[in-house]
Amino acid sequence: VLGLEGPCWVSPGPDGGLAVSEEFGDVWLFGSACQPLGSLGVLGEHTFGCPAGVCSDSEGSVIVADERRHQVTLFPRAGVPICLLSQGLQRPLAVACSPQGQLVVGDAGDNHIKVYQYLGQLA
């Protein structure tokens, strides 16, 4: 994948593609053949502060930790971005979705890993 400006975090994206965050830039989506699909900033009409960790969930949404804005935002397949978390976050850097429907956030501001119930019920 060429043409990115400071790629920092990469994750499997929806439908077998990739999601890549650029330092102080945007988050780009690529298809399964690494073809550019667009940026979340443009597609979701969203301005990032400093996008960091990215992941995708079982529903095909992309989740982004924004270090500068101190929040974690969900970008659904259709619709507008949704702020999932902001309270209690200092420097969210890493995000991951567990198979049990949990959202895991690595917060470098207080050196904690934080686990939130996200989708469905715990088994």
pLDDT in tens, 39-65: 998 877 889 999 999 999 988 999 999
Domain span holding position 39: 7-117
CATH number at residue 73: 2.120.10.30
Q: Burial code of 67-79, b = ≥16 C-beta within 10 A, e = fewer?
A: bebbbbbbbeeee
Decide if 96 is inside a domain. Answer: yes
Q: Tell whether 122 is covered by a domain.
A: no
Task: Return the SS3 of 81.
Answer: coil
| In a domain? residue 104 | yes
Residue 2 within any structural domain of the chain: no
CA dist 74 and 6 (Å) reads 22
pLDDT at 120: 58
Q: How many domains does the chain have?
A: 1
Give pTM, 2 decimals: 0.90
pLDDT digits (tens, 9 = 90+) for 68-83: 999 999 999 888 999 9
